[in-house]
Amino acid sequence: MNNIVSVILARGGSKGIPKKNIVDINGRPLLYYSIDASKRSDVNKTFVSTDCKEISRVALECGASGIIDRPKQLATDKAMSDDALIHFATIVSFDILVFIQPTSAMIKPEYINKGIEMVVSGKYDSVFTATEEHWIPKWNQKVEPVDWDIYNRPMRQDKEELYTENGMFYITKRNNLLTSKLRYSGKIGVVKIPLIDSFQIDTIEDLELIKKLKMNE
């Protein structure tokens, strides 16, 4: 049987929304939703990696299995999450790792279970969550079309649909993580997330949107 653990990276610093990872979302700290989804999934233990004592306290109150004290150098604005995952792997033993980002408050246990199933089946070494994106005309900051021509505007149905990575979670095998030093490698699969559940909280506008969506669940 595979030992499946999750880690939620929740550093203390946040410039856009102060203390974002524990900001109130309809009576619950944001961190609660990722911990709760992980606990109700097929994950065996749910950990929170943080550099903040207040986040550590809140995480344990929300039911986290344990806290990983993340070194300050791995919790800066420019620190890569992949490095924090490697740090986690030096402390906790596992076969499969579910890396969850707390900014995706609409996460559900069935999404996590789908990803776990895809990896456990042996068909994939890693998976990530994404939303299907239909083609729409995009412009750069100079108001120039990006990858299309205003004199030959393509039809939406003629353009290839793409996946937009939404950052809800990533799942990978231990050996793949330690070998590649990346959150995904090898044979990579996609867990499709409906658009309505794909939004992350990065701005005040995102925060207000998620509050409304959570009220309607």
Indicate which residues carry an active-site annotation: 153
**What is the Cα–Cα distance from 103 to 30, expressed in whole angstroms?**
7
Count how many Cα atoms sit within 13 Å of the Cα of residue 12 in the half-sphere of its side chain.
Answer: 14
CA-wise closest residue to 97 among 131, 49, 147:
49
**Radius of gyration over every alpha carbon of the chain, rounded to an integer in angstroms:** 18
Report whether 5 contacts 46 (CB < 8 A). yes
Distance of CA 142 to the CA centre of its chain: 31
**What is the Cα–Cα distance from 11 to 45, expressed in whole angstroms?**
20
| Residues contacting 8, CB < 8 A, separation 6+ | 31, 34, 35, 38, 46, 47, 48, 49, 59, 64, 100, 101, 102
**What is the Cα–Cα distance from 115 to 51, expressed in whole angstroms?**
28
Q: Strand (E) positions, 84-160?
A: 96-100, 126-133
Q: Report angle CA 187, 191, 194 to the nearest 5 degrees.
A: 155
